[in-house]
Amino acid sequence: MKKRWTVEDENGTRQEFEVRVFLKDDVWTSTLHRVNEKGEAEEKSGVAPTFYGVSPDQAERMMRKVVENTFDDILSEEVVEGES
């Protein structure tokens, strides 16, 4: 599953990220990628650590916590691949 999150920091600056949740070696994994000006997710943006969970929801929730602690708010969320 891939989702695009639009976030806003304390200065009102907006950024877009792509969170990817996938099964890797029997463990659900989530990664976060910065989206560039062309609307493409950067493969090696190093935005956040990789998180692991026992379910796709848990892996996504862990990534969401990091994003919500770093930025003021997730303004929008859009599924770009897979199910929500």
- Phi, psi (degrees; rounded to nearest 5) at 75: -80, -35
Its pTM stands at 0.87
Q: Which contacts (CB < 8 Å, 24+ apart) does range 73-79 have?
A: 73/7, 73/8, 74/5, 74/6, 74/7, 75/6, 75/7, 75/8, 75/14, 76/4, 76/5, 76/6, 77/3, 77/4, 77/5, 77/6, 78/3, 78/4, 79/1, 79/2, 79/3
Q: How confident is the model at residue 48 (pLDDT cuts 50, 70, 90)?
A: confident
Contact between 43 and 33 under an 8 Å Cβ cutoff? The reply is: yes
pLDDT per position as a tens digit, 9-30 = 889 999 999 999 999 999 999 9
